[in-house]
Amino acid sequence: MWWRSASFILDNSRNPVNDDVPPDSITISPPPLTDSTAAAAPTLQIPNFNRNMSMSAYYQTRAAHHGVVTSDWLAQAQEAAAATGAVDGQEDGGGGTGGRAFSVIDEFNSWRKQPDLAEAVAAIRALAAVIRNSEANTMMELEIELKKASDSLKSWDTTSISLTAGCDLFMRYVTRTSALEYEEFNSAKCRLIERAEKFGEISCKARRIIAMLSQDFIFDGCTILVHGFSRVVLELLKTAAQNKKLFRVLCTEGRPDRTGLRLSNELAKLDVPVKLLIDSAVAYTMDEVDMVFVGADGVVESGGIINMMGTYQIALVAHSMNKPVYVAAESYKFARLYPLDQKDMSPALRPIDFGVPIPSKVEVETSARDYTPPQYLTLLFTDLGVLTPSVVSDELIQLYL
Amino acid sequence: MDARRGVRAVPKVRQVGFFTANPPPPSRSQSVPADSTSPPLSDSPASGNSLSPVMIPPPRHLSDNLSHLRSAAVPVPDSSSRRPIAGEHVTVVGSYNPPDSVLGEVVSPNFSEDNSEASTTLGWFGKSGSGKFTPGSSFPGGGFDLTTVKSEKFTAKDAKKNTGVPETSGGVAVEAQNDIPSSSKPTKAESKAKPTKAERRALQESQRAAKAAAKGEGNKSAVASGGATSGKPTKQSSQKKDDPLVVSSIVGADKKTGDRSVDKERKKDVPPPRMQFDDKNRVGKAKKRAMFNQTEARNRVELFRHLPQYEHGSQLPHLESKFFQLDSMHPAVYKVGLQYMSGYICGGNARCIAMLQSFQEAIKDYSTPTEKTLVRDLTAKISSYVSFLIECRPLSMSMGNAIRFLKSRIANLPLTLSESEAKAIICKDIDQFIYEKIILADKVIVGHAATKVRDGDVLLTYGSSCVVEMIMLHAHELGKQFRVVVVDSRPKLEGQTLLRRLVAKGLSCTYTHLNAVSYIMHEVTRVFLGASSVLSNGTVYSRVGTACVAMVAHAFRVPVLICCEAYKFHERVQLDSICSNELGDPEAIAKVPGRKDVNYLDDRANKENLQLLNLMYDATPSDYISMIVTDYGMIPPTSVPVIVREYRREHLLIG
C-alpha cells in the first residue's frame, strides 16, 4: 500500500529478510510465498511442492486433458514430474504404505489420466484401491491406513481443492457411517469399495442434475458469458441446446491455457452461436450479457468460489452492472476452506507463455486461480439444488460436524 | 432458562419497551402544566406515561393514573419528581425484603403512610427505573410465585391486546377483556378526580381481596381449567354494574386468573419477556423482592429507560454490610455477586466461569430440605442465586446459556439417585461444561484463527478479549511475524491491560484510541474482535465501540474476524443496540480521573437537561463481519442459526 503511514517504517526493516527466502533461481519464480512455512524459518527446509514445481499438478492434468500444451509447458511439466517422482519415493519410504509396492499416489495418477473423470472421483477411486490392497483386519486399522493414504494424497497436491474435498468426503463416509460399525468387517470393506466405485456415477449424475436445474434460468434469446472450461457448464449448455433453447454464448479466451478456445470448439460443434473475447474485453461486452456462467475449482465455506484466474473480475463487473452470476459446481467440490482474501489460499501456480522472452528481473504473476467472495455470486447450481451462497456453509456444517 | 431472560419473545419485548420508551419529552411538551392540582382528565391517557390513546393501560391498580398525575403535575421532567418519592418509598418498605416475605405484608404500611394518592398506590407499584427485578421463582413457595410472574406477564399481554393485536389463544376470556378495559377506564378517571378516604379504603379492600383470590387461584393453578376462564367474563360484567370503583381491581384480578391457564401453557415454550425497567408495575414488584437498596437513577436517556440503571457504586458498601444477614444466599454466590458489581470480575468467560464455580460450591453445600425433591428445590435455589447475580449486574447471554444448561441437567437427573450422587453428577457436569465449552473451545478457536495470521500482517483488535489475546500469543509462538494495533476507548481502557500483556510477551504493538481508528485502518490487514454474544441473524453483540471498528474495517475492505465460543451463540434476533443493553456508570464518562483541569461537567451532572449515556454493549450488523471463528470452525455470519441449532441439539443429547 503506497499510503502507508509512518508507523509502517517498522515493516521496511523486515522486508529484506523476507526477500531472501525464495532464492532467485528461475525466471518464472513463484511470488514471495505467503504461506507460513516458507517465510517463517528458512532452516525448516521441508520439501515444499509449490516451490519445487512451478505448475500445480491439478493444472498439469487439466492441460493434458485439454490438449492445449505449449512447448514451454511440456518442459515444465516434465521437470515437475521428475520432482514429484523423487518426492513420491521419499514419502512412500516414510509413509504408512511403505512396505508394499502399492502407492496411493500412483493409483491416483492413473485414475486421473481419464479425461472425463473428475479429480475428486479419481481420489476416491484411489482410496478404494487402498482398501482393496489393505491387509487390515479391523475397521480401526483400515481407518488409520485410509487416513494416512488420504493425508499423503492431500499433501501431494495441496493446491487441488476437489482432491482434498474428495478425500475428506470419503473419510467422512468411512468414519461416520454408523451402519458400518455393526457389520462384519469384510462386508463393510466391500460396501466401502462399492461406494467408492459408485462415486464416479454419482459425479456424472450430479452434472446431469445441475444441467437440468439450470434449464429454468436459460431463456430464449439470452446471451451467456462463460469463463474457463468447465465440464459442468459444458454439460449445462449442451442440455440447453438439446432442449432447443435459442441462446448465444460469449467465451473468454482464458489465457494462459486458452480454455475458452476449447469450450468454443465444443459449442460450435453443437451449433450454438459463439463469440470469442479476449479476457480483457469482459467489461466491454458486459452490457449485452444476460447472465454469467462459471464453473468452480472449489466452493468454500463462505459460499464464495475458487476458480480460474479472471473469475473474480468478471464477477465484479457483472455485479456492478447487475447481471446475475451463476456457478455450476458439484457438491463434492464443497471444501472446508475459508479464504479471507485473494492471498489467503495455497497458491496454485501455472507458467505463462508470453511469446517473447521475459527479462529475469521482471516478476510474473503465475497464480492460476482467484477467489470470488460470495456477495458477487447470485446462485450456485449444485446437485443438492439451486443454492444461495450462504447455504454452502450450512451444508458443510451438516456434513462435517 | 431462567424466568427472566425472555429472549425468544422478542416481538413482545420490543412492543413493551417501545410503548413506554417513547414519551413526548416531558420538559418540552408539558413545560406549562394545564392544571397542576387536579389530575388532567382529557390528556392524561395520551401524554402521561407515554401510552398512546389507543393503548389503555391495564386498569388493575391505578398505577398508570399515578404516573399521569405525576408527570402532568410537575413542569420538569419526571425524573426530579420521582426521586423524592422513591426515597420515601424506600424508607417505608425497607430495603431488605427476605425472599420469603409475603407480598401483602410488605404492602400494608404504605397505606397508612401518606394520604396522597400517589403514595397510596406506591406500595403496589413502587416506581423506580432502577428497580431490579427478581423472578418469581426466587420465592420458595411454588404456587405463590406463579401469581406474581403471571400478573407481570399479563400487563404486557394486555397492552398488546388493547392495541388491537389479535390474541387468539386467550379464548373467550380474552374477547371479553378486550372491551372491558376501555369501558372501565373513564370510571376510574372519575374516581381519581375526587378520592375520598372511604373510596380509598374500599379500593384497598378490593385489591386485597383480589390478591387473596389470585393467590388462591395460583396455588392450584397447575391445571387451571378452561372452565374457569369462560366463567369470568360474566362475573366481571355483573360486578361492573354494581360498583365502578371495585371493578377496576376485580377485573384485573379476574383477568389475571383467566389468563393464567393460557399463560401457563405458553410459558412452557415461550419464556416471559425480559424485564422492562420503564414498566412500573413490574419494576415495583421486582423492587419489593430485591435485596438491594433501590435508588433512583437520575436523568435517564429516553431511549434507554427500559434498561436497568446503573447504581453499583452506591450499592456496594450497602450490600457488603449486609453480608451476615443474607441467610438464603450461599457465600460463594454472594462473593461472586459482589465481584461482578465491583467490576473485579469482568469479561464474558471469566464471569461465566466464576458463576458456574460459585454454583458448584453452593451445590456441594446443598442439602435437600425434608419433604422436597432435589430436582425442584435445587432448581429454585439456583434461580434465586441467579436473580441475586442479576441484581448485581445483568447477566450476559452466555451466562444465560450456561444457566439454561445447568438447569436442564438438574431437571433431567434420574429421580432414583441419592443426593450425594446427584450433587456429584451436577458438579461434574459443570466442570465438563467449563472445560469443553470454554477452555477447550478457546483452544480450538486459537488453532483456527492462527491459520489466518500470515507473516507481515498487521492485526487490529479492540478492547480486551481473552480469546484474541490467546490467538496473538499463539501466533507469536508459532514464529509468525506480525504487528498488533490495540485500539482502546474510554472509560474502561481495557486495551491497556491487553497491551501490557502483549508487550510483555515481546509482540510489537501500536496503541491508539478509537478516535484514530480510521487513520490506523489503512495499514491493518486483519481485524480480530471478541464478542459477548452472537445472535442468530449474525449480529454480534459486543463491547461498545466494536461496531464502529467493524464498520471502519468494512469500509477499508479489511476482513473482520469475530472470535467467539459457540456457547455464546443465542437464537435471539436483534437489530439494534437499544432493545437490550447494559448501562454503565454515567459518572465514568462525565469525569476523567486524574485530570483536574477537565471539570466542565462537575457542577452540571445533576442538571435536568443533561443526560449521560454510558452504554456497555453495541450490536454489529452481520454485513461488516467476514468470518466468525468458533469451536465448530470458521463460519460465515449467515451460518450462526445452524450452529445454534446444532448446539441446542447437542445440549439435548447431553441433558
Residue recorded with cell 468467560: B349
Residue A11: closest CA among chain B residues belongs to which residue? B456
Residues of A with a Cβ under 8 Å from any B Cβ are 1, 3-5, 7-8, 10-11, 14, 18, 34-36, 39-41, 301-303, 336, 338, 340-341, 343-344, 374, 390, 393-394, 397-398, 400-401
Residue B74 has pLDDT above 50, yes or no: no
Give the model's confidence band at B142: pLDDT under 50 very low, under 70 low, under 90 confident, else very high.
Answer: very low
- pLDDT value for B284: 65
Q: Are B220 and B274 in contact (CB under 8 A)?
A: no
- Whether residue A192 is found in the same domain as residue A291: no
- pLDDT value for A221: 92
Q: Are A397 and B631 in contact (CB under 8 A)?
A: no
A178 inside domain: yes
**Pure H helices in A1-56:** 9-20, 36-40, 49-52
B421-447 pLDDT, tens digit per residue, is 989 999 999 999 999 989 999 999 999
Helix, strand or coil, per DSSP, at residue A2: coil
Residue B52 has pLDDT above 60, yes or no: no
The overall average pLDDT reported for chain B is 68
Q: Are B417 and B425 in contact (CB under 8 A)?
A: yes
Q: Which strands sit side by side in the sheet containing A379-382, from one edge to the other?
A: A274-277, A247-252, A222-227, A291-294, A325-328, A379-382, A385-387
Q: Which of A173, A74, A65 is nearest to A117 (CA)?
A: A65
**Pure H helices in B478-516:** 495-504
Residue A113, number of CB atoms within 10 A of its CB: 12
Nearest to A301 among B510, B526, B635 (CB): B635
- Whether residue A97 is found in the same domain as residue A223: no
Q: Are A76 and A364 in contact (CB under 8 A)?
A: no
> How far apart (Å, rounded) are the C-alpha atoms in residues B581 and B600?
28
Residue recorded with cell 391495564: B58
**Dihedral sign for Cα atoms in the order B333, B335, B337, B343:** negative
For residues A307-334, give the mean pLDDT. Answer: 93
Residues B639, A397: C-beta atoms closer than 8 Å: yes
A152-195 pLDDT, tens digit per residue, is 888 877 778 888 888 888 887 777 666 666 667 777 778 778 87
- Whether residue A79 is found in the same domain as residue A23: no
Q: Which of A306, A305, A330 is nearest to A118 (CA)?
A: A330
Give the model's confidence band at B377: pLDDT under 50 very low, under 70 low, under 90 confident, else very high.
Answer: confident
Q: Are B612 and B605 in contact (CB under 8 A)?
A: yes
Residue recorded with cell 450456485: A380
CATH classification of the domain holding A203: 1.20.120
A48 inside domain: no
Residue B146, number of CB atoms within 10 A of its CB: 25
**Dihedral sign for Cα atoms in the order B243, B244, B249, B254:** positive
Portion of chain A with pLDDT greater than 70, in percent: 71
**Count of residues in chain A:** 401
What residues pair up with B533 in beta bridges, in sequence order? B541
Q: How many domains does chain A have?
A: 3
Q: Which residues of A touch B517 (CB under 8 A)?
A: none
Residues B456, A303: C-beta atoms closer than 8 Å: no
Of residues A100 and B290, more confidence is placed in B290
Q: Which residues of B touch A343 (CB under 8 A)?
A: 454
Grid cell locating A276: 470469442
- Whether residue A296 is found in the same domain as residue A393: yes
Nearest to B523 among A7, A34, A39 (CB): A7
Residues B633, A301: C-beta atoms closer than 8 Å: yes
CATH classification of the domain holding A281: 3.40.50.10470
Q: Which of B536, B97, B423, B65 is nearest to B289 (CA)?
A: B97
Residue recorded with cell 455485479: A319
Residue B641: closest CA among chain A residues belongs to which residue? A394
A44 inside domain: no
Give the residue numbers spanning the domain of A8. Answer: 1-34
Q: Are B362 and B326 in contact (CB under 8 A)?
A: no
Residue A9: closest CA among chain B residues belongs to which residue? B523
For residues A357-384, give the mean pLDDT. Answer: 91
Residues A301, B510: C-beta atoms closer than 8 Å: no
> How far apart (Å, rounded) are the C-alpha atoms in residues B638 and B538?
6
For residues A99-115, give the mean pLDDT. Answer: 67
Residue B259 has pLDDT above 70, yes or no: no
- Whether residue A179 is found in the same domain as residue A151: yes
- pLDDT value for B105: 40
Residue B241 has pLDDT above 50, yes or no: no
Helix, strand or coil, per DSSP, at residue B543: strand
**Rg of chain B in Å (alpha carbons):** 26
- Whether residue A321 is found in the same domain as residue A384: yes
> How far apart (Å, rounded) are the C-alpha atoms in residues B291 and B326?
9
Last residue of a domain, one of A207, A238, A254: A207
Grid cell locating B177: 377483556
Residue B546 has pLDDT above 90, yes or no: yes
What residues pair up with B619 in beta bridges, in sequence order? B541
**Rg of chain A in Å (alpha carbons):** 22
What residues pair up with A227 in beta bridges, in sequence order? A294
Q: Which of B57, B51, B58, B62 is nearest to B24 (CA)?
A: B51
- Whether residue A268 is found in the same domain as residue A315: yes
A47 inside domain: no
Q: Which residues of B touch A302 (CB under 8 A)?
A: 626-627, 636
Give the model's confidence band at B150: pLDDT under 50 very low, under 70 low, under 90 confident, else very high.
Answer: very low
DSSP state of A279: G
- Whether residue A181 is found in the same domain as residue A229: no
Q: Are A277 and A249 in contact (CB under 8 A)?
A: no
A26 inside domain: yes
- Whether residue A321 is found in the same domain as residue A249: yes
Give the model's confidence band at B99: pLDDT under 50 very low, under 70 low, under 90 confident, else very high.
Answer: very low
Nearest to A36 among B480, B523, B639 (CB): B480
For residues B514-541, give the mean pLDDT. Answer: 93
Residue B636 has pLDDT above 90, yes or no: yes
Q: B653 CB near a chain A CB, below 8 Å?
A: no
- Whether residue A375 is found in the same domain as residue A243: yes
The Cα of A398 is separated from the nearest Cα of chain B by a number of Å equal to: 8
Residue B167 has pLDDT above 70, yes or no: no
Long-range contacts of B502-506 (CB under 8 A, 24+ apart): B502/B469, B502/B472, B502/B473, B505/B473, B505/B476, B506/B476
Nearest to A14 among B456, B522, B638 (CB): B456
Residue B590, number of CB atoms within 10 A of its CB: 18
For residues A28-51, give the mean pLDDT. Answer: 40
Task: Give the lowest-confidence range in A72-76, A312-316, B39-43.
Answer: B39-43
Residues B643, A397: C-beta atoms closer than 8 Å: yes
